[in-house]
Amino acid sequence: MADQVLELPCWPFALLLSSSLYFYHYPPGEALAEIPTVRFSRFLPDFINRLMFIFVAPYLIKYGYEKYRDQPYRVLKADGDLLVLPPKYLPEIRHLPPSKLSGVDAQFENILGKYTNVLVDSHLPVKTVHKGLTPAIGRILPRLLDELQFAFQVEVPDCDDHWVPVNLYDMILGLVTRATSRVIVGESICRNPQWLETVTSYTVNLGVTVILLRPFPNFMRPLVAKVLPSVRKLRTQLRFVQKELFIPMILARREAEMNDPAYQKPDDFLQWMMDLAEDGFDKDPANISQMLLIVMALAVVHTSSMLMTHAIYDLMVRPEYIEPLREEVRETVKDGWDKVTQASFASQRRLDSFMRESQRFNPTGELSTHRMVMEKMVLSDGLVLEKGTHICFPSKPMGMDDSIIEDALTFKGFRWCEDPEARSTSLVSISPSNMHFGYGRQACPGRFFAANTNKAILSRLIADYEFKFEDDNNRRPRNLTLGEQIMPNMHAKILLKKRNVV
Cα–Cα distances in Å, from 145 out to 139, 179, 353? 11, 7, 22
CA distance 470 to 163: 10
Interior angle at CA 164, CA 159 and CA 165, nearest 5: 150
Which strands, in side-by-side order, build the sheet including 37-38? 37-38, 73-77, 80-84, 390-393, 368-373, 101-102
Q: How far is CA 393 from CA 203, 281, 371, 396, 428, in A?
A: 24, 33, 10, 9, 18
Q: How many residues does the chain have?
A: 502
**Separation CA 293–CA 181 (nearest Å):** 11
Annotate 301-370 with DSSP letters as a single string. IHHHHHHHHHHHHHHHT-GGGHHHHHHHHHHHTTT-GGG--HHHHHT-HHHHHHHHHHHHHS-SBS-EEE
Instruction: Please give the single-letter amino acid code of residue 131.
Output: K
* CA diameter of the chain: 74
Q: By the 8 A CB rule, do 392 and 367 touch?
A: yes
- Residue 77 sits at φ, ψ, to 5 deg, of -95, 170
473: exposed, middle or buried (Cβ count in 10 Å: 0-12, 13-18, 19+): exposed
- Strand pairing category for 465-469 and 377-378: unpaired
Contact 203, 298 (CB under 8 A): yes
Is 444 assigned a ligand-binding role in the annotation?
yes
Q: At what angle do helices 168-184 and 193-213 cross, to 10 degrees?
A: 120
The torsion angle over the Cα atoms of residues 174, 332, 497 and 157, rounded to 10 degrees, is -30
Q: Is 403 helix (H, G, I), strand (E, B) or coil?
A: coil
Q: Report yes or no: 425 and 353 within 8 Å, Cβ to Cβ.
A: yes
Is residue 419 classed exposed, middle or buried when 0-12, 13-18 and 19+ CB atoms within 10 A define those classes? exposed
- Binding-site residue numbers are 444
- Binding-site residue numbers for heme are 444
